Amino acid sequence: MSTATLDMVMPAPEERERTARVVRFFDAHLSHLAAARTPLPAPAPTPDFYLSGPDERDRVELTEPLFRILKDVAEALSQGQSVSVVARDKEISTQQAADLLGISRPTIVKLIEQGDLMATIPGKQRRKLRLADVLAYRDLLYHARSNFIAESSQAYDDVDPDEAAAFVAAARKGH
């Protein structure tokens, strides 16, 4: 994948079954290991997965985090979902940040100018944002929205359902 853009992999329909076989292989191997575990205090066996090349001696063991990433990617692709894998310290453009947050590019610029998002200007005019900062801002927005919804719903806990239904009916009639 390129380090300059947010690349996305879209699964081809004919590849979904091949990818699903990879997922089933992972799951079967993990299930076999789980069944082999005993309640004894002995350490549980760990899954060993390898990448291999065309030569049988050309093989490297996958780390646990890399295995988990590959398994998650394979599961998503086998279900027809698109996948992006991006380093969190990567820099992205204001348009990419806007797309990620579901807002306009001018709004991103305003957030930068207000100090809500940090950006650098490596050239003369193009702002760059750290992906980790944009993802952190997205999480902040999510929590703020969730809290607002929870607080708002508490304010209306004592509303009579029949009264609310009558109000909605009147609003629909245009009164």
Residue ranges of domains in the chain, CATH in brackets: 13-78 (no CATH), 91-155 (1.10.1660)
| Bridge partners, 91 (sequence order) | 130
3-state secondary structure (DSSP) of residue 167: helix
Q: Could you tell me which of 174, 82, 92, 101 has the C-alpha nearest to residue 142?
A: 101
Consecutive H or E run containing 18? helix 16-36
* Helix-then-strand count for the chain, H and E: 6, 4
pTM score of the predicted model = 0.47
Full pLDDT tens readout for the chain, 175 residues: 334 444 567 778 888 888 888 888 888 877 766 666 555 555 555 657 888 888 878 888 888 888 888 889 889 888 888 887 767 678 899 999 999 999 999 999 999 999 999 998 877 778 899 988 999 999 999 889 888 888 887 777 777 888 888 888 888 887 5
